Structure 1
Amino acid sequence: MLDDVNKTDLFCDYYKKWIQVYKEGAIRKVTMDKYYMSHSWLEKLAPTLKICELTRIAYQQILNDYALYHERQTTMDFHHQLKGAILDAVDEGLIERDPTRKAIIKGKTPAPKKIKYLNQFELHTLIANLELKTEVNWDWFILLVAKTGMRFSEALAVTPKDFDFAHQTLSISKTWDYKGAGGFLPTKNKSSVRKIQIDWQTVIQFSELLKGLPEDEPIFVKGKVYNSTVNDILSRHCASLKIPEISIHGLRHTHASLLLFAGVSIASVARRLGHASMTTTQKTYLHIIQELENKDVDLVMRSLSSLS
């Protein structure tokens, strides 16, 4: 498909062909959608730019225009996606020099993001008021996420077979394609494949709930699932209990936050959440870690003053 490309072809057309040749079938749909989103922005920002006209200045202008609407990290992702195609075009002789060299990445100042999570009393209030019926419902889903800190797609993919009640563990080895046509997908990364320890109460509750259910079928999926549906249910619970309204992802933050406040190490929390590295955990929960460090300083001072 790329054999018939000429230097005078539009760059946005070349980029679309490049996606189809090199990315179609090689990456997950959610990542593929991001490449096509980059293509749609390219059509808006440089609809008439030809491949032979892609100089460093022209490329920098594309990045600058994109950065007017996006934060720096998003602009960086856009740059990386375009760069792959451009370097191939350089290798093919369609572009003489790499126009992405020394590119300057700009972007809007990110709005302060405060993670929404519940404190221990609020979480206890929520769990105590869930309608945990004898048959599976979304309240059971809310309970499981609160107790494990799983991602939404991971929790949807859980089957009865994933529970090891004898050893009090839950295996995470797949996700559910709720944004697409359904079905199992791989986890977000290798670190996301893990075993989560679950408490004895959760063991008793789910061992009873799952009796008679098909071993290899997802527990919570019955037809098309929408993130908004479950978030609405959780939000209504929170509103009725007069506690902060959070999302399912907020339950994951709640789980991690309570573990950190309880003194669980960052390394253990990172493994439990399936983060690729502790750096991700540290960045996400920086405000909590700083709060804990302030408490540590007070503890150190009290300990030292007692030595006199």
Structure 2
Amino acid sequence: MYTTTTNNTMLFCDYYKQWITVYKEGAIRPVTMSKYNMAHQWLEKLIPNLTIGELDRFSYQKLLNDYAMSHERQTTMDFHHHLKCAILDAVDEGLILRDPTRKAIIKGKTPRKKKPKYLNQYELHKLLDNLDLKSEVNLDWLILLIAKTGMRFSEALALTPKDFDLSRQMLSVSKTWDYKNHTGFLPTKNKSSIRKIPLDWQTVMQFAELVKRLPEDEPIFVNGKIYNSTINSVLARHCKEVDIPIISIHGLRHTHASLLLFAGVSIASVARRLGHSNITTTQKTYLHIIQELESKDIDLIMRALSNLN
């Protein structure tokens, strides 16, 4: 426990770094840890000389405002959340007299025009028809598999031939691949991400032929270092060639889920297939589609009720 007399003169950026080390290191995923470290870097840039004792509502709001000048509102909100936990701990320890984050106003730059997040069924057909599915493994096979399963990029990279249960038409997802730090296999995002995804017979036949001569326990799609930007470039090239919106590899996951929802698959089933920890995540992510489907449902309900006369 820190003491007010000796530590309220400590630089806040130093306190925050120490707080990350004590409370977060080893307890959160590396990708989340990198966000906390990035927040610390911004503190060193924006308030390098501010002590804990000087952190009040005015100085905290100015920090958020300065950060917001070069970031969108949602990014500023995330920055605020990454700092708030540490600040509340400092309040509990008596280093700060009052919560400076209370009633904080979140600002931000005007959001950039959003890229399309997913393709419609016609556009997806055009994309898949343009893939060059050779007899040997290439990144086009990875694009096909993510489009057909809705897997996360890191999950798809971690797949080995052993994960395919071709006789039962199932694909097991139980790990991810660290494509950012290149350390190999990692656990899944959460327990719900460990799942079995049913495959259509056509995909089963295609991958049965592709993986039959590959080592059982080695990643199918990893040959040296692989980057998110590489697969996005390949995907963008295909999108341009067939004149459809350019989406990211994660956009294929959104495309998969969207097509299932429009086909009438329940939210619960889509959530399980995607490996979401709860249905709420699926509802929030695909709210716009759900609202569109609800509008169609109202028309169906009215038609059904009018036929009762």
List aligned pairs for 1:198-237, cutoff 5 A: 198-237=199-238
Distance 1:87 1:117 in 2: 39
Opposite residue 121 of structure 1, the aligned amino acid is: Y
d(CA) in 2 for partners of 1:85 and 1:243? 45
Q: Which residue does 1:62 correspond to in 2?
A: 63
User: Are the equivalent residues in 2 in contact too, given 1:193–1:274 (CA < 8 A)?
Assistant: yes
Question: Could you say which residue in structure 1 is the equivalent of 2:177?
Answer: 176
The answer to whether the Cα contact below 8 Å between 1:75 and 1:105 also exists between their aligned partners in 2 is no
CA offsets, 1:36-87, max 9 Å, x none? 1111111222221112212333333323433444344433332332233334
CA distance in 2, matches of 1:116, 1:86: 35
Residue 276 of structure 2 is matched in structure 1 by 275
Partner of 1:304: 305
Question: Structure 2: where are the runs of 5+ without partners?
Answer: none
Where in structure 2 are the equivalents of 1:84-123 lying within 5 Å?
84-100=85-101, 102-108=102-108, 110=111, 113=114, 115-123=116-124
> Partner of 1:47 in structure 2?
48
Q: Which structure 1 residue ranges, 5 or more long, are not aligned?
A: none
Is 2:233 aligned against 1:251? no
Contact kept, 8 Å, 2:116 with 2:245, in 1: the verdict is no
Residues 242 and 79 (structure 1 numbering): CA distance in 2 closer, same or farther, change over 3 Å? closer
Q: Secondary structure at the match of 2:131?
A: coil
What is the aligned length? 307
TM-score, length-scaled by structure 1 = 0.90
| Aligned-partner Cα distance in 1 for 2:290–2:93 | 49
- What residue in structure 1 maps to residue 151 of structure 2? 150
Deviations 1:195-223 (A, max 9, x none): 11111111111111111211111100000
Cα offset, 1:96, TM superposition: 4.0
Aligned equivalents of 1:93, 1:293: Cα separation in 2: 51
Aligned-residue sequence identity (percent) comes to: 74
Aligned CA distance change for structure 1 residues 9 and 129 (closer, same or farther; 3 Å): same
CA contact (8 A) 2:267 2:282 kept: yes
* Structure-to-structure mapping, 1:128-143, within 5 angstroms: 128-143=129-144
User: Please, what is the CA RMSD of the aligned residues?
Assistant: 2.4
Q: Which moved more, 1:129-138 or 1:143-152?
A: 129-138
- Cα distance in 2 between the residues matched to 1:289 and 1:204: 33
Q: TM-score, normalised by structure 2?
A: 0.90
Question: What code does the residue aligned with 1:49 have?
Answer: L
